[in-house]
Structure 1
Amino acid sequence: MKPAVRNKIIISMNTSWNVVNFRKGLVEALQSRDYDVVIVAPRDEYSSLIAAMGCRYIELEMDNSGTSPLRDLVLLWRYWRLLRLEGPLAFVGFTIKPNVFGSIAANLNGIPVINNISGLGTAFVRGGLLLRIAKTLYRVALTRSKMVFFQNDDDRRLFVDERMVRKEQTGLLPGSGIDLVHFAPPAEVHTRSGAIVFLLVARLLWDKGVGEFIAAARRVRREVPAVRFQLLGFLDVENRTAVSREQVEKWVGEGLVDYLGSTDDVRPFLRAADCVVLPSYREGTPRSLLEAAAMGRPLIATDVPGCREVVDHAVNGFLCKVRDPNDLASKMIEFAMMDDASRDRMGVESRKKVERQFSETIVIERYMRQIERLSARAVK
């Protein structure tokens, strides 16, 4: 293998969309300190935008939701070949397959690794054989990582307790960080048309609590007719826990919910909502809640790792029991029955919390600290 290029950083994720939407700030910070950033991800409609970020893009085919050992071995070989050819200062991995197979390939090539475990995924929610395999792969992949960032302490403790990573390798990040200028409360006062709008922003997966959201909507409608329910997000047909398009169309046909499709700019939808809801089974730190909070929206979410870090119960929103549509409905009804001033106070508290704890500058600085340490070692 050729010597490492001291200023080259490879960032790898499972979609180009993820890079463009969530990691632009990190890329710009690296470039401002003269690092050459290379993005490695599968090709999608966002891949062409990476060049505009000043990065070189390398396409890497990846079966994101598949469990074929043969395909995963091919992915490992592709990562190994690519990293051997590129010889970067560091490999920075996000999402499951880059974190596992990219990290193993980097280790085989003697390249330092920085990981971000942004969430545990379906295997950890559902258990079984897939979970045992996932734990084994993580133990192998993370054994030599210089830093493994987690987005909540529950996930970090789980990985440490299960001996998938050593505690001294780990650090905590406040999610992926929020650009507090881009996501800001509207200048005009939020005026309500009469109906309270509850909005769920997420990939439409059962594990995100979409079923509980719909079941709760049925009950809330019976007790508080002047409410509306909206879904915004990808219909992710490739995921094993995806809600089908037919099912969503059925709910829309019943008049239970409005499906708003997907978007590259959630801000207009957040401005129009009174409350953003996420009844997820488990999260890292959910981006949808952070963006909504930054825009001064009250929140309702499940009392699970990731969500409870963003929602202070009865301060900037409500926490409800996981997989319990009746408890979710009761929190929605409680919110709908509040006066405007009380709801507005919750929104103000949401913004304050994001400013204190979840600014993008915090995340970027912690990454830069790790990369600068690797750069200093490479000089010696």
Structure 2
Amino acid sequence: MRIAIVINTSWNIFNFRMSLAKALMAAGHEVVAIAPRDAYSEKLVAAGLQYVPVEMENKGTNPVKDLLLIKQFHRIYKTVQPDVILQYTIKPNIYGTLAARLAGIPVINNVSGLGTVFIVKNLVSKVALALYKFAFQFPAKVFFQNNDDRELFLEHRLVSEQITEVLPGSGIDTVRFKPTENFSRNKDFRFLMISRVLYEKGIAEYVEAAKILKAKYPEIRIQLLGSFDEAGNIGIKKTVFLDWIKNGEIEYLGTSDDVASVIAQADCVVLPSYREGTPKTLLEAAAMGKPIVTTNVPGCKETVIDNQNGYLCEVRSGEDLAAKMEKVLLLPEEQLQQMGKASRQLALDKFDEKHVIGQYFKAIQQISERKR
């Protein structure tokens, strides 16, 4: 079969969907990556995928451009002629589904996070809900990354229950992401947050927690790894962000293609996000045996068994985040190590990518049988 994977960036395919793509190719399928061109497009080709570029704005909400996106997807799908299309992120899920319907090609959609649709209530979010409701009449399958998101879509009657299924996030490669051989606690205890610099990821709360903790424990390091993003009203202004760094509240590490090596040097991984699908960074941290502090919200809470492999904190509360981070900081070495081991076990039992890949193969097989 020829299978298309459609996402809003080539980077996303390379970093989050390559294990699935490789498993499909190993099973004898052709895999076509359809995404905007970026620095990772050629890496997809080098890995054995076919690549077709599409022009798509990640954050844009121009209705004319979005309608033209349907036309563009339809042209690509008619040219590529995939047997099934796997779509991720909001624009492929909506406009790609409508184009695939016109082209007569079955699709499997993945709601990997709700973005601002259910966080910010405005005209754009209302339009997005209406578009979801219309487009989601047509997929063969819709995967969700946590049950809260699935229930929210069902509550708003955006999708038929019988085509929905919950995946354990994107899954994690527990062979590639594994604990270092010898456990050692840093003398300058290191908290690490991995995220784009957006308010909805809880960056402001992380900085507030950093101020509280560094006033008491000046030797600790509170780090941030991730790309800068001033998009819309959710991006943090560069001047504000640079002031935080200048004042020493957080240590900015920039970006990296080797996230595992950065996680390996941390003592605890933190994500105070307002809502997620299931954050890949926390799955990576769990697989590498790191304690986790994250918010008690859909997507994030699935990665922590409170008081076993980390702590859940209140959303939008820098004070409570600081309190939970302090609890990790004050753990005796043996308890800190046990908490890391619990994270690793959770990753193996619940989030191993083999579970995700298996469910995709099953859904693709069902479509193949229906065609026959």
User: Normalising by structure 2, what TM-score?
Assistant: 0.98
What do residues 235-290 of structure 1 show as CA deviations (whole Å, max 9, x unaligned)? 12345412233322211110111100001111111111111000000000001110
- Any unmatched runs of 5+ in structure 2? none
Amino acid in the other structure paired with 1:61:
E
1:289 aligns with 2:286: no
Partner residue of 1:172 out of 144, 154, 166: 166
Alpha-carbon distance in structure 2 between the residues aligned to 1:239 and 1:360: 33
Aligned to 1:64: 58
4+ residue runs of structure 1 moved beyond 4 angstroms? none
What do residues 32-79 of structure 1 show as CA deviations (whole Å, max 9, x unaligned)? 222111110000011111111211100000011011001101111101
Alpha-carbon distance in structure 2 between the residues aligned to 1:28 and 1:275: 31
Cα offset for 1:25?
Answer: 0.8
**Which stretch shifts more, 118-127 or 205-214?**
118-127
Aligned to 1:153: 147
- Any unmatched runs of 5+ in structure 1? 1-6
Q: How many residues matched?
A: 372
Aligned to 1:309: 302
Percent identity of paired positions between Structure 1 and Structure 2:
44
1:253 aligns with 2:219: no
- Kept in 1, the 8 Å contact 2:183–2:337? The answer is no
Aligned pairs (5 A) from 1:312-327:
312-327=305-320
Secondary structure of 1:114 counterpart: strand
1:118 aligns with 2:109: no
Aligned to 1:138: 132
Secondary structure of 1:319 counterpart: strand
- Kept in 1, the 8 Å contact 2:206–2:318? The answer is yes
What do residues 334-378 of structure 1 show as CA deviations (whole Å, max 9, x unaligned)? 221111111111100000000000001110010011111212232
Amino acid in the other structure paired with 1:310:
T
Cα offset for 1:123?
Answer: 2.3
Aligned to 1:354: 347
What do residues 174-197 of structure 1 show as CA deviations (whole Å, max 9, x unaligned)? 1111001100000122242x2211
Alpha-carbon distance in structure 2 between the residues aligned to 1:244 and 1:41: 28
Secondary structure of 1:120 counterpart: coil
Secondary structure of 2:312 counterpart: strand
Partner residue of 1:222 out of 192, 215, 224: 215
Partner residue of 1:99 out of 73, 89, 93: 93
Amino acid in the other structure paired with 2:279:
P
What do residues 156-208 of structure 1 show as CA deviations (whole Å, max 9, x unaligned)? 0000110110111100101111001100000122242x221111101111100
Aligned to 2:293: 300
Aligned to 1:3: none
Amino acid in the other structure paired with 1:160:
L
Alpha-carbon distance in structure 1 between the residues aligned to 2:369 and 2:141: 16
Amino acid in the other structure paired with 2:234:
T
Cα offset for 1:221?
Answer: 1.5
Aligned to 1:333: 326
